[in-house]
A = this chain, B = another copy of it.
Amino acid sequence: MRVEIWSDIACPWCYIGKKRFEDGLAAFTHRDEVEIVHRSFELDPNRAKGDTAPVIDMLAKKYGRTLDEARAMEEHVASNAHAEGLGYCTEGRDHGNTFDIHRLLHLAKARGRQDELLSLAYRANFAEERSVFDSEVLITLAVEAGLDETEARATLADENAYAEDVRADEREAAELGATGVPFFVLDRKYGVSGGQPAEVFTQALQQAWGERSPLKVIDQGGADACGPDGCAVPQA
Residues of A within 8 A of B (CB): 2, 8, 10-14, 16-17, 32-33, 43-44, 62-63, 65, 69, 72-73, 76-77, 80, 109-112, 168, 172, 176-177, 179-183, 185, 187-196, 200, 204, 212-220, 223-228, 230-234, 236
A223 to B196, Cβ gap below 8 A?
yes
A194 CB contact (under 8 Å) in B191, B200, B223: B223
Task: Name A228's closest neighbour in chain B (CB-CB).
Answer: B43
Instruction: Contact check, B44 vs A236: say whether CB atoms are below 8 A apart.
Output: no
A217 touching B193 by the CB < 8 A rule?
yes
Q: Indicate whether A224 sits within 8 Å of B16 (C-beta atoms), given known contacts A190-B218, A232-B194.
A: yes
A156 vs B65: C-alpha distance in the bound complex, in angstroms?
Answer: 60
Q: Are A214 and B177 in contact (CB under 8 A)?
A: yes
Check if B200 sits within 8 Å of A224, measured CB to CB.
no
A13 vs B233: C-alpha distance when bound (angstroms): 11
8 further A-B pairs in the complex, CB-CB below 8 A; given A72-B234, A180-B228? A8-B226, A11-B226, A43-B226, A63-B233, A110-B112, A112-B112, A180-B227, A188-B212
Q: Which are the 10 A-B pairs with shortest beta-carbon distances?
A: A194-B223, A180-B227, A194-B225, A191-B215, A110-B112, A193-B219, A191-B217, A11-B226, A195-B224, A180-B225
